[in-house]
Structure 1
Amino acid sequence: MGIVVVEICDGSLINEIDVESIIEAEYPEVAVMESSCLSFCGMCANRPYALVNGKRIFGKTAAECLDKIKTQIEEELAIYA
């Protein structure tokens, strides 16, 4: 398992893109976990979001959210550098 964990809801709008493959190919130290529910009721249907080490990351589009996830991953990894 990675030192950074990205959690996505399987019902989230972020699933328009293959987040798991993109993130894990670019950041081998990151683990992407998909859940059936992250207990933020209804949020997954409203806009793309994910949790990065427990921090909620949102975007207007799946691509924007992915960019924000990558930014947060970089910030988290900087702690361990």
Structure 2
Amino acid sequence: MGIVVVEICDSNFLLSLNIEEIIESKYPEVAVLFNDCLGFCGLCRLKPYAMVNGKRIHGKTPEECLEKIKEAIEAELAFYA
């Protein structure tokens, strides 16, 4: 498991991207986990979002959300550098 954890709901719009491969290939210290539900009822159907080390990250499109996730990962990794 990585030092940064990205959690994604199984019903999320982010699943239109191969997010696990994209993130874990670029950031080997990151673990991408998929959950049935992250407890933000209905949010996964409204807009793409993920939890990065417990912080909610969202965007208007899956691509925008992915970029914001990468920024959050970079900020988390900077803490450990």
Q: TM-score, normalised by structure 1?
A: 0.99
What is the CA-CA distance between 1:47 and the residue it aligns to? 0.2
The 5-angstrom pairing of residues 2-41 of structure 1 reads 2-41=2-41
What is the CA-CA distance between 1:7 and the residue it aligns to? 0.1
Distance 1:70 1:38 in 2: 20
**Percent identity (aligned):** 63
4+ residue runs of structure 1 moved beyond 2 angstroms? Answer: none
| Matched residue, 1:64 | 64
SS of equivalent to 1:68: helix
Q: Deviations over 1:33-78 (max 9, x none)?
A: 0001101100000000000000000000000000000000000000
Distance 1:76 1:19 in 2: 18
SS of equivalent to 1:39: coil
Letter in 1 for 2:76: E
What is the CA-CA distance between 1:14 and the residue it aligns to? 1.0
Two-structure CA RMSD over aligned residues (Å):
0.4
Q: Which runs of 5+ in 2 are unaligned?
A: none
Distance 2:28 2:61 in 1: 24
Distance 1:61 1:16 in 2: 10
Distance 2:43 2:15 in 1: 13
